[in-house]
Amino acid sequence: MSTAAAHPVPLGTPTTTKPFPIPTSYFSVALGTSALGLSWRYGATANLVPSWVGESILALASATWLALITAFAVKLITRRDALQSELRDLVMCCFLALVPVTTIEVGISAYPYAALLGYALILIGVLGQLAFSMYRTAGLWRGTHTVAATTPVIYLPTVAANFASASGLGALGHRDWAMLFFGMGLLSWFSVEAAILGRLRTEPALDPAVRGIIGIQLAPPFVGGNAYLAANGGHVDWVFLVLTGYGVLQLLFLLRLVPWVLKAGYTMSLWGFSFGLGAMAGTGMHLVAVSQLVQLGWVLWILGTVLIAALWAGMLMLAIRGRLFF
C-alpha cells in the first residue's frame, strides 16, 4: 500500500523520518477483530450461535495483537525515532491509544481461560490509556492542535479508550468502576463530536488514501452501547436503545459516503470502520437475544460480521500483492 494510506502526514505534522514498516494504526486490525469476537462470544452465551465461532475470532485477534505488540516493542527499541515521529504527528499520535485499548480487549478475551493474565492485561490497559490520555489529550489544551487534524481519530484517546476500559472492568465484575469509565467516554464523546463534524463539513476533504478514518464515526454509539451493557449488567433499556439509534443514523450516513470513501480503493485506513462494526454486531445480537427490534438486530449483526470479513479479505489481498507493509 502507499505510505499515505497508513500514514496521513498531510493532516498532521510534516516529517522526514523514515516510517517503520508496521505503523501503530495497524492495531485497528486487532481492535475490530476483538470487538467482533467478543460480540460472537456474547451470542454463544445467549444460545444464538456455537461458542467455537467467537472463540476462533478471538484467537485470531489475540494472535494479531501479539504480532503487533512484538513489532511495537521492536520499534520502541530499535526505531525510537519513528515512534517519536508518531508522537509529534497530530493525527498519528492518536493511534498510539490503540496499544492499551487492544490490550484491554485481549485481556477480556483471555479472562475466562486465564483469569490472572486477563485481569493483568485489563488493568495494564486501563492504566496505560489513562497515562497516554493525560500526556496527549491534556497536552493539546496548550493550543498545539490544528483544525485540519481534528478528524475522527481524536476519539481514540478518550472516547474509545474509556469505553473499552468500561467493558474490561465490567467483565471483571467491577460495575461501579465500569460506569465511571463509561461516563468518561460518553462525555468525552459529546465534547469533541461537534468539533470533528465541523471540520468534516467546512474544511478541505480528507485525502482519498486516508478517508477510511471517517469510519471511526460509527464507533462511539455502538461501542458506547456495549460498554453501557457491561456496566449495567447487560440490561437493554432506553439508554442502550438511544445509543443504538444514533449508531444506526451514523451507519446510514456512512453508507451514503461509501463511493467517496472508496475513491482510492482498498487502503488500511478502512480498518477505521472495524471497531464500530464489531460492536454493531454485538448490538444486533443483544437486540435479537431480548426480542426487541429483532429485524434491526439481525441486520446489524450480519452486516457488522460480513464487513469485517471483507476488511480481512482486502488486507490479505494487499499482503499477497506486497503492499501491506512499507
- DSSP secondary structure letter of residue 262: G
**All three cell numbers of 28:** 485497528
CATH of the domain at 54: 1.50.10.150
Arithmetic mean of pLDDT, 246-274: 97
pLDDT digits (tens, 9 = 90+) for 194-247: 999 999 999 999 999 999 999 999 999 999 999 999 999 999 999 999 999 999
Residue numbers of the domain that contains 163: 17-320
Cβ–Cβ < 8 Å for 247, 222: yes
Instruction: Tell me the pLDDT band of 325, cut-offs 50, 70 and 90.
Output: confident
- Checking if the pLDDT of 48 tops 50, the result is yes
Instruction: Tell me the pLDDT band of 140, cut-offs 50, 70 and 90.
Output: confident
pLDDT at 55: 99
* Residue 2 is assigned to a structural domain of this protein: no
Cβ–Cβ < 8 Å for 278, 36: yes
What string of DSSP letters covers 76-132? HHH-HHHHHHHHHSTTHHHHTTHHHHHHHHHHHHHTTT-HHHHHHHHHHHHHHHHHH
- DSSP secondary structure letter of residue 267: -
% of the chain beyond a pLDDT of 70: 94
Cβ–Cβ < 8 Å for 185, 158: yes
Cα–Cα distance, 41 to 34 (Å, whole number): 10
Distances (CA, A) of 21 to 9, 82, 315: 15, 10, 15
pLDDT at 6: 40
* Residue 3 is assigned to a structural domain of this protein: no
* Residue 148 is assigned to a structural domain of this protein: yes
- Checking if the pLDDT of 78 tops 50, the result is yes
CA 208, distance to chain mean position in Å, is 20
Domain count, the chain: 1
* Residue 218 is assigned to a structural domain of this protein: yes
Arithmetic mean of pLDDT, 182-205: 97
Q: How many alpha carbons lie under 13 Å from residue 124 in its C-beta half-sphere?
A: 15
Arithmetic mean of pLDDT, 270-295: 98
- DSSP secondary structure letter of residue 187: H
* Residue 309 is assigned to a structural domain of this protein: yes
Nearest to 311 by CA among 264, 255, 273, 263: 273
Nearest to 20 by CA among 41, 3, 42: 3
Region of poorest pLDDT, from 33-42, 45-54, 58-67, 132-141: 132-141
As a whole number of Å, the end-to-end CA separation of the chain is 7
Cα–Cα distance, 218 to 274 (Å, whole number): 9
44 burial type by CB count under 10 A (0-12 exposed, 13-18 middle, 19+ buried): middle
Residues listed for the chain: 326
* Residue 207 is assigned to a structural domain of this protein: yes
* Residue 235 is assigned to a structural domain of this protein: yes
Instruction: Tell me the pLDDT band of 16, cut-offs 50, 70 and 90.
Output: low
* Residue 8 is assigned to a structural domain of this protein: no
Query: In terms of pLDDT, which residue wins out, 55 or 139?
Result: 55
